[in-house]
Amino acid sequence: MQRKTSQLRDVGKILFSTCFLVVAGFVGCSAPEDEAENPVVPQQGEGEGEGEGEGEGEGEGEGEGEGEGEGEGEGEGEGEGEGEGEGEGEGEGEGEGEGEGEGEGEGEGEGEGESGGTDSGWEDGEAGDGGEVGGDEETDPGLEPGQLTAGQWSDLDNWSFWLDLLGNEQSSWQANETSWGFFTRNRIPIDVSTSEGLPVADALVTLKNATDERVLWSARTDNLGRAELFPGLFSSEAGPFVAVAQAASVSKSVEIAESQLAEPVQVTLDAGSLPKNVLDLMFVVDTTGSMGDELAYLQTELGEVIQRVVEAQGQELSVRLSVNFYRDLGDDYVVRSYPFTSNVEQALQALAAQNSDGGGDYEEAVDSALRDAVFEHDWSDSARARLLFLVLDAPPHLTHQGVVQNLHVTTEAAATKGIRIIPVASSGVDKSTEFLLRFLDIATNGTYVFLTNHSGIGGEHLEPTIGQYEVELLRDLLVNLISDAV
């Protein structure tokens, strides 16, 4: 699969230059030289802004947005203002600027702008069989999808870049490699295809030590026939190796020398059957208090992603959905888990009902959530794709006993089951967490997704240590990743 970001569909692209006010709602910005295409996405919100209309007022401000207000006063910001006054008039418009004037007036206007603030949790609803839904607050029902912005990076497609990071003794990457206990340098990509050159999807590929036949790693091929194998991911292993690809009752073995590491190995396998037309789609979401700046927006975005995927793929595939949530030890719950369902409304209600609370310290129960997701759910034995989106802003407890081992066991099992982990890093992620998340996606043939500052929503988003990337609307990026996977 070409793991490249999808083409922007709703916004323009901006490359390494100062961007200008092109159309209403796109704000000029100056991009650093080493930053990729960074479109600024207009947001829907309410507030006072400059525009055209009847009525006069006194005030200073800059902003863009939609809203109603009356006023003499002053304020500054995008999408919001303060004021009081008298008079009546109407105006409509969007723009940005500063100005002063005197007079009386009351204006109504509408436009596009950024609105800040989140209310965590939507109205309670039926959650299905997974458990009790929570939510002490209601999310603003006016929130619209298409506001969060994100980027995507595949280390598997940029392997030399990844190896250079790990080999840089001046950086902290080597220390994180040791801390989390993931050693990905010995990578063996396997491409399985038929004698006619067609990719064989969902074939089980097992890597063994050629001498004693110990199983070192297992993975399933994606829809393009690629499986990623890692001898010695958690401990040192020397070759030669043997890879065995199997689909239905047909199997094929190929010997691999240590000198072939990182080079794609071709395996021809005339499989007897195709995988079932099934998509297993799971979201695992951190709902601790620190997610409060973005959780309501994420609920809106993920809800639309689910609806769009079902609409686009539902006629061809059986789409199975599971939404799961986690906090930390000592909170109201550690993991709130819902089984796979084909009932879209049930999944959407469970997603919408959550609120942010708890946590306290920086680390959260990420390892417990992943273990539940991989081992406690009925993943399909045969499927076109099995995707696990991990949405979070903090790492697991590195220093707690058994956490790292738990992550290792869960990651290995996910690869064997063909579950591709795709992290979605939110505001608050640090470099150590970024490193871990990229290890998880590498080991399971996933990719790394991260929110960016371009939306103006939430706290500061860490700039990842990667090459050039495109900034997209999160909803479009996720929908396209899912579509590419099937």
Domain at 149-155+276-485, CATH homologous superfamily: von Willebrand factor, type A domain (3.40.50.410)
User: Which pLDDT score, from 0 to 100, does residue 15 have?
Assistant: 34
54-82 pLDDT, tens digit per residue, is: 333 333 333 333 333 333 333 333 333 33
User: How confident is the model over 297-301, as a mean pLDDT?
Assistant: 95
148-160 pLDDT, tens digit per residue, is: 999 999 999 999 9
User: How confident is the model over 233-243, as a mean pLDDT?
Assistant: 90
8-37 pLDDT, tens digit per residue, is: 334 333 333 333 333 333 333 333 333 343
Rounded to the nearest integer, the mean pLDDT of the chain is: 77
CB 150 within 8 A of CB 471: yes
Long-range CB contact pairs, 125-129, < 8 A, 24+: 125/349, 125/350, 125/352, 125/353, 126/346, 126/349, 127/338, 127/346, 127/349, 127/350, 127/353, 128/338, 128/339, 128/341, 128/343, 128/346, 128/347, 128/349, 128/350, 129/338, 129/339, 129/341
CB 65 within 8 A of CB 49: yes
User: Which pLDDT score, from 0 to 100, does residue 28 have?
Assistant: 34
- Band the pLDDT of 369: cuts 50, 70, 90: very high
Measure Cα distances from 158 to 150, 364, 448 in Å: 19, 30, 12
User: How confident is the model over 168-180, as a mean pLDDT?
Assistant: 85
For the chain, helix, strand, coil in percent to 5 are 20, 20, 55
Pairwise CA distance, residues 229 & 27, whole Å: 45
Residue of 55, 53, 54, 21 whose CA lies nearest to 40: 21
Residue of 373, 383, 389 whose CA lies nearest to 421: 389
Quick one: angle between helices 431-443 and 173-180, nearest 10? Answer: 60
User: Which pLDDT score, from 0 to 100, does residue 360 have?
Assistant: 81
pLDDT at residue 134 tops 90: no
- Band the pLDDT of 180: cuts 50, 70, 90: very high
- Band the pLDDT of 203: cuts 50, 70, 90: very high
pLDDT at residue 88 tops 60: no
Of residues 78 and 184, more confidently modeled: 184
Pairwise CA distance, residues 72 & 104, whole Å: 7
Element (H, E) at 189: strand 188-193
User: Which pLDDT score, from 0 to 100, does residue 140 have?
Assistant: 54
- Band the pLDDT of 258: cuts 50, 70, 90: confident
- Stretch(es) of the chain classified as CATH 2.60.40.10: 183-268
Give me the half-sphere count of Cα atoms (radius 13 Å) on the Cβ side of residue 167: 7
- State the architecture of 183-268 in CATH terms: Sandwich (2.60)
CA–centroid distance for 211 within its chain: 41
User: Which pLDDT score, from 0 to 100, does residue 4 have?
Assistant: 39
pTM greater than 0.75 (yes/no): no
- Stretch(es) of the chain classified as CATH 3.40.50.410: 149-155+276-485
Of residues 157 and 2, more confidently modeled: 157
386-426 pLDDT, tens digit per residue, is: 999 999 999 999 999 999 999 999 999 999 999 999 999 99
Give the lowest-confidence range in 71-80, 206-215, 270-279.
71-80
Identity of the amino acid at 192: V
The proportion of the chain whose per-residue pLDDT surpasses 70, expressed as a percent, equals 71
User: Which pLDDT score, from 0 to 100, does residue 282 have?
Assistant: 98
User: Which pLDDT score, from 0 to 100, does residue 376 have?
Assistant: 98
348-368 pLDDT, tens digit per residue, is: 999 999 999 988 888 999 999
* Distinct helix (H) and strand (E) counts, the chain: 8, 21
The proportion of the chain whose per-residue pLDDT surpasses 90, expressed as a percent, equals 62
